[in-house]
Amino acid sequence: MKIDRATQRYEQWLAQRMPLMSSDVRCKHAVMKRDAVSFLRATFYRWMQVWPEVCGELAEAPPVLAVGDVHVENFGTWRDQEGRLIWGINDFDEAYTLPYTHDLVRLAVSATLAFEADHLGMKLKDACDAILTGYMEGV
C-alpha cells in the first residue's frame, strides 16, 4: 500500500472515532511535506504498518512498554509543579507494548533524519551511541 492510500485509510478510520477539521488535516498534510523529520513525526500509523516488514527480526524482539511515536523532538526540558528542571520524554500518547527494539530503531532513524537535515547538534554516531548507552543504563 502506498503512503497516499495509507494516509487516506488512517484518516477515514480516525474520522470514525473523532471529529476532524478539514483545515487541520490540510495543515497536517502541508507540515508532512516540509521535510523528512516532519513526515516521520506525522506518519506513525504508516511506520507501524511497515516496521515488521522492514525490520524483520528486530520486530520480533521481546515486548516492553514503549513510547511508540518516539523521535528526537519528543525529548525536552520542563519545570515540574515544584519548579524542578526535568529532562525526558514529553509525549506518551502512542505508548504501547512493542518489541524493545522498536523505540531504539525509531529514535535512531529520527536522529539520522535530523542529522541529514542539519538539525542535530552532534555527530550521528555520537547520537546513536548515546541512544544505545542511555537505553542500556536505563535497563
Residue 37 lies in a domain: no
Confidence of residue 10 (pLDDT cuts 50, 70, 90): very high
pLDDT in tens, 57-102: 999 999 999 998 888 888 878 888 999 998 888 888 888 999 999 9
- Look up the pTM and report it: 0.85
Residue 36 lies in a domain: no
Residue-number span of the structural domain to which 101 is assigned: 57-138
Residue 130 lies in a domain: yes
User: What's the number of domains the chain is made of?
Assistant: 1
Residue 39 lies in a domain: no
Residue 28 lies in a domain: no
**110: Cβ–Cβ under 8 A, 6 or more apart, which residues?**
37, 40, 70, 71, 72, 73
Alpha carbon separation from 65 to 20, 29, 80, 118 (Å, rounded): 29, 29, 23, 31
pLDDT in tens, 11-58: 999 999 999 999 999 999 999 999 999 999 999 999 999 999 999 999
Residue 129 lies in a domain: yes
